[in-house]
Amino acid sequence: MTGTSTKATAAASGTSGKSGRPFWTSPAYIPWFTADTAAALGLSLRGLAISLIGYKLSGSTVLAGWLGTSASIAQQVFALFGGTFVDRHDRRLLIIVNGVAGALAWGAVAGLDFLGHLGFVTLLAIATVESGIAGFLGSASDAMLRSIIDIADYPTARSVNEGRDAAIGMGGSPLGGVLYAVGPWLPFLVAAVAYAAAGAAACFIRLPKKRRNLNDSSATDAALETLADPLVNDSLADDAGQSGDNPSTDESFIHDFVGGWKWTVRRRLIIVVIAAAALINFGVNGISYAITLHLVADGTGSAKIGLLDGSIAAAMFVGAFLAGKLARKLPVGRTVCAATVLVAALAVALTAVTAFWPTLVVYMFLGLPFPMFNAMLLGYIFAKAPTTMQGRLATTVSVPASMLSMFCSAAAGSLLAAVGYRWSIATFAATLVAAAIIMLASRRLRTIPAADRWDGTTLD
């Protein structure tokens, strides 16, 4: 324990380090959380439906796999520049625009399929364009959170988000499967309504004109980083009295874009996390696509397939509950290393089962460690970064970490056709074993302390 743990102690009791009130009572947090939840619901509802309708329209696991990959590539390519754009513009407005775009895109898919005019190429085009827009603007929501709450509340806030996402996953994917069984257009229509609700809720987000950074160590870090690297314009941080929601800058887009990447690559811990996360994302998403496409090709019903995502979401919900209780108490490094080893072991175990129900049970437990991983390790990284770096950090971390997973859908479809189900799962499991080795080998990562000692650490 350090002498700077006053805010962490207050947060441990569920209150904000500055005001003494729970962070979720903030007038800005409530509409932000509503908008973020509605967007997450839309994503969940249309996620499974895309794979199902892609296979229905093409009759091929390979083409259905490339549908998901094309959308992922578009999302990551545009996300490469989206973080810098988000840091330079009104994040509330960008959340609204992203919601409207999702409503229009998936509403169009629903309408075309209802009328019988939806073809595979049309679906591919709409999914790719909408994913590109989501990649460009999607980081605005997470970037805005750091401007709404205190750093001491950040692990708990991320745990809440993880629990929310898990709850949506428990109901969203099974519901999407049931809606698809009623009519293939129906999950897309409901998803469009959810995206519209996200844009509407974001209209009510209001931040104070000036919100200073509530974490003294982060303010100091930001000032030091500005002196050390003039390409990173951290003088725009809330420490200077700017609104974290709508920063302004006289520097060029390219200047800020390059500065964000330089800031990230100079921190060895972040590079290790990105490398491990890239392998984890590829392994887990690849397993998910392989199981889904295998079941679709075998003629398994959509509602039954939806149980897979519902089961892993149920485990994530439990994991999020544990994260909310333990995220401040447990040492971050050792906990996330143990979580990654567990994920790798479960992935290896999946190679030994082929029947639906045993697969569901093992697959379900894959989701248990992820809320702890996100709340603790990613929470540490984002909490320690300056507020005006949040959008760029989301880009410089998420884009490389998702680079391999862009090809998960295509890889899963191709592997299933080439080597069969068991070896497809084994291939993806091997990447999770490699991720565990990378994390265990990093002393800096293993020694990240519990949240009440974050003030005494720096990102390096």
Q: Of 250 and 118, which is predicted with more confidence?
A: 118
pLDDT at 149 over 80: no
Domain count of the fold of the chain? 1
Q: What SS3 class is residue 281?
A: helix
| Residue 238 included in any domain | no
Q: Taking the chain, what is the end-to-end CA distance rounded to the nearest angstrom? A: 21
Q: Which of 250, 313, 280 is nearest to 398 (CA)?
A: 280
| Residue 430 included in any domain | yes
Integer-rounded Cα radius of gyration of the chain: 21
SS in 3 state form for 83-114? HHHHHHCCHHHHHHHHHHHHHHHHHHHHHHHH
pLDDT for the residue 249: 55
Q: What is the DSSP string of 43-79?
A: HHHHHHHHHHHHHHHH--HHHHHHHHHHHHHHHHHHH
SS in 3 state form for 431-456? HHHHHHHHHHHCHHHHCCCCHHHHHH
pLDDT for the residue 275: 95
| Residue 17 included in any domain | no
- Measured N-to-C along each axis, helices 356-365 and 332-350 cross at an angle, to the nearest 10 degrees, of 170
Once rounded to an integer, what is the mean pLDDT over residues 6-15? 34
Q: Which of 275, 256, 297, 423 is nearest to 350 (CA)?
A: 423
Q: What does the mean pLDDT of the chain come to?
A: 81
CB neighbourhood size of 272 (10 A): 16
Domain hosting 58: range is 24-207+214-233+250-456
pLDDT at 198 over 70: yes
pLDDT at 227 over 80: no
Q: What SS3 class is residue 26?
A: coil
CATH number at residue 154: 1.20.1250.20
Q: Which of 246, 235, 168 is nearest to 211 (CA)?
A: 246
Q: Of 55 and 104, which is predicted with more confidence?
A: 104
Count how many residues are written for the chain.
Answer: 460
pLDDT for the residue 168: 82
- Out of 22-31, 75-84, 123-132, give the one with best mean pLDDT: 123-132
Q: What SS3 class is residue 119?
A: coil
* Least confident piece of the model among 16-25, 60-69, 193-202, 319-328: 16-25
DSSP H or E stretch at residue 402: helix 390-403
pLDDT at 214 over 60: no
What six digits make up the tokens of 420?
A: 């069969």
pLDDT for the residue 14: 40
Max Cα-Cα span within the chain: 66
Eight-state DSSP code of residue 205: -
What does each C-alpha distance from 328 to 11, 207, 368 come to in angstroms?
9, 27, 18
pLDDT > 90 fraction of the chain, expressed in percent and rounded = 35
Per-residue b or e along 47-64, where b marks 16 or more CB atoms closer than 10 Å to that residue's CB: bbbbbbbbbbbbebbbbb
- CA-CA-CA-CA torsion for 396, 398, 401, 405, nearest 10 degrees? -140
pLDDT for the residue 242: 37
C-alpha to C-alpha distance for 126 and 133, rounded to whole angstroms: 11
pLDDT at 398 over 50: yes
- CA-CA-CA-CA torsion for 276, 381, 172, 289, nearest 10 degrees? -10
- Out of 26-40, 279-293, 364-378, 426-440, give the one with best mean pLDDT: 426-440
pLDDT for the residue 240: 36
pLDDT for the residue 100: 96
pLDDT at 216 over 60: no
pLDDT at 23 over 60: yes
Tell me: the pLDDT tens digits for 165-190?
A: 777 866 777 788 888 889 999 999 99
Eight-state DSSP code of residue 241: T
C-alpha to C-alpha distance for 10 and 20, rounded to whole angstroms: 7
What does each C-alpha distance from 422 to 66, 305, 355, 429 come to in angstroms?
21, 18, 11, 11
Confidence of residue 247 (pLDDT cuts 50, 70, 90): low
Where helices occur in 242-267 by DSSP H, the ranges are 253-265
| Residue 277 included in any domain | yes
| Residue 73 included in any domain | yes
pLDDT at 230 over 60: no
C-alpha to C-alpha distance for 50 and 187, rounded to whole angstroms: 9
Residue carrying the six token digits 């437990």: 365
Q: Give the CB-side neighbour count of residue 342, counting CA atoms within 13 A.
A: 18
The answer to whether the beta carbons of residues 387 and 146 sit under 8 Å apart is yes
| Residue 176 included in any domain | yes
C-alpha to C-alpha distance for 237 and 294, rounded to whole angstroms: 49
| Residue 313 included in any domain | yes
Tell me: the pLDDT tens digits for 342-384?
A: 999 999 999 998 888 999 999 999 888 888 888 888 888 988 8
| Residue 334 included in any domain | yes
* Least confident piece of the model among 103-112, 197-206, 208-217, 415-424: 208-217
pLDDT for the residue 128: 94
C-alpha to C-alpha distance for 239 and 317, rounded to whole angstroms: 35
